[in-house]
Amino acid sequence: MPFEPLVTAVIETTLNTLVKNDPELGRRLARLKGQVIQVNLKELNKTLTFIFSQQIDVLANYEGQPDCYLSLNLSVLPELRDQSNITKLIKQDKLVLEGDIQLAQKFSQLMTDCKPDLEEWLSKLTGDVVAHTLVQGVTGVGNMLKAQASKHQNHLAQVLTEEWKIAPAPLEVAHFCDQVDDVKSQAARVEAKLNKLLELA
């Protein structure tokens, strides 16, 4: 199976399963019924077309004209929920929007709320206790890895500033900035005195 149809099939199946299991998502889908939204994902340089009916169809190729076209990075999608962000995102070149702004917001809300409850899904396969233990274990490992990464980052910063003397320590930088300010002040005073002397001459 080619890569694109596989990706669109996975996205489509996941979204429809989530919508089916959550009445609130079902109501949000109903508000988009009959609409076609095209999303160009900048980081992948791919365009996906979402067609809303009783379900969500996701296509990699679409010939028609969408009701709304978005070009953005995935990380920007949640920011579309607040209409006041849209103009700012367009000015910052983080978003290209053609079509109905409210449609884009409804789409954003649906997509950002389509978060799978992994523990709930696992509990159907393994039971509540095992699912909870697995999710907590994975979360714990993730937190531990974050803590280790932070610790190594701090250690590297100390080695660079204190042992290898490659980078200045934060206090040295602050002291240098203070000295620069002092020199600026002295230069301003000398300049003022010179100007007075020139006026007297």
**Cα–Cα distance between 78 and 196 in angstroms, integer?**
60
Is the full-model pTM beyond 0.75? no
**Cα–Cα distance between 66 and 74 in angstroms, integer?**
19
**Cα–Cα distance between 51 and 30 in angstroms, integer?**
12
Give pLDDT tens digits for 176-195. Answer: 888 888 888 888 888 888 87
Q: Residue 113 is encoded by which pair of tokens?
A: 């709320």
Provide the total of helices (H) and of strands (E) in the chain, helices listed first.
7, 5
**Across-strand partners of 97?**
70
- Fold exhibited by the domain 3-116: Nonspecific Lipid-transfer Protein; Chain A (3.30.1050)
For range 112-116, the mean pLDDT: 70
| pLDDT recorded at residue 53 | 92
Q: Where residue 126 falls among pLDDT bands split at 50, 70, 90? A: low
Contact 43, 94 (CB under 8 A): no
Give pLDDT tens digits for 136-169. Answer: 665 666 566 677 767 767 766 676 666 666 666 6
Q: Mean pLDDT for the chain?
A: 78
Q: Where residue 2 falls among pLDDT bands split at 50, 70, 90? A: low
| pLDDT recorded at residue 161 | 64
Mean pLDDT is highest, among 62-66, 83-87, 159-163, for 62-66
Q: Does residue 46 carry a pLDDT above 90?
A: no
**Cα–Cα distance between 126 and 132 in angstroms, integer?**
10
User: Comparing C-alpha atoms, which of 69, 80, 73 is closest to residue 36?
Assistant: 69
- Name residues whose C-beta falls within 8 Å of residue 29's C-beta, 6 or more positions apart in sequence: 19, 52, 55, 56, 110
Give pLDDT tens digits for 27-41. Answer: 888 989 999 999 998
For range 2-23, the mean pLDDT: 80
The domain segmentation of the chain, as residue ranges, is 3-116, 118-167, 169-201
Q: Which residue has the higher pLDDT, 162 or 84?
A: 84
